[in-house]
Amino acid sequence: MSQQGADVCLLDFAQESLNLIKSYPGSDKVKLVLADALDCPFKDNTFDIVFHQGLLEHFVTPRVLLQENYRILKNDGLLLVDVPQTLHLYTIFKKILYFLNLWFAGWERQFTIRSLSTLLRRCGFEPLYFYGDWSRPGIIYKLIREILIRLNIRLPMFPRYLGRLTTRFYNSQNLLRQKQLFLYTVLSIGIIARKI
């Protein structure tokens, strides 16, 4: 977005994350802010768009984060939120790994399109568009990778496999995107909502 001329601000609670961003091309055009997302150092009605992915699900009380998003968004501003979807193998594996004390990503909840829409409406947003995506690489690969790391065996984060079977699988996913069922098969769901 910054390369297209937008003023972009990236906020994170961890300096290590901000340092990682500095290694990307074009990061010099992005304002990096070390702060708490629940207490943003911005005036009311500052931004046209607020986006977070993999954040909301880690709050015991997600309304607090959404209220802060509402505060810093301009009137009619857009909020984009990505969260884990309830109806997915990821959720089942996560619950099993929680039970076995092997989960690697901290506490998190999951949502359905309906529950996320309801939460956003209660916080003053109007859902406009729903979207989702699958995990790439797949969740099974990621789980195997995490288990092997504990055994000091390291697999690459993104394997270099694009065989015929994988290509067919990705093509079938792209066809499914056109169906309502799509939103109940994906790992993560998202909503674009407008501040009202």
36-40 long-range contacts, Cβ below 8 Å, gap at least 24?
37/11, 37/13, 37/65, 37/68, 38/64, 38/65, 38/68, 39/68, 40/11, 40/68, 40/71, 40/72
Residue whose C-alpha is closest to residue 54's, from 90, 2, 98, 78: 90
| CATH number of the domain bearing residue 187 | 3.40.50.150
| Residue 168: predicted pLDDT | 75
Examine residue 46 and state whether it is found in any structural domain, yes or no: yes
Examine residue 21 and state whether it is found in any structural domain, yes or no: no
Q: Pick the residue with more confidence: 162 or 193? A: 193
| Residue 186: predicted pLDDT | 81
| Residue 37: predicted pLDDT | 96
Look at the chain and report how many structural domains it folds into.
Answer: 1
32: confidence class by pLDDT, cuts 50, 70, 90: very high
Q: What is the mean pLDDT of the chain?
A: 88
Q: Express each pLDDT in 46-80 by its tens digit.
A: 999 999 998 999 999 999 999 999 999 999 999 99
For residue 168, the enclosing domain spans: 36-195
Examine residue 20 and state whether it is found in any structural domain, yes or no: no
Q: How far is CA 179 from CA 52, 140, 183, 185, 186, in A?
A: 25, 24, 8, 11, 12
Q: Express each pLDDT in 117-167 by its tens digit.
A: 999 999 999 999 998 877 667 767 777 888 898 899 988 877 766 567 667
| Residue 33: predicted pLDDT | 97
The rounded percent of the chain whose pLDDT value lies above 90 is: 54
Examine residue 22 and state whether it is found in any structural domain, yes or no: no
Examine residue 5 and state whether it is found in any structural domain, yes or no: no
Examine residue 30 and state whether it is found in any structural domain, yes or no: no
Examine residue 170 and state whether it is found in any structural domain, yes or no: yes
Examine residue 13 and state whether it is found in any structural domain, yes or no: no
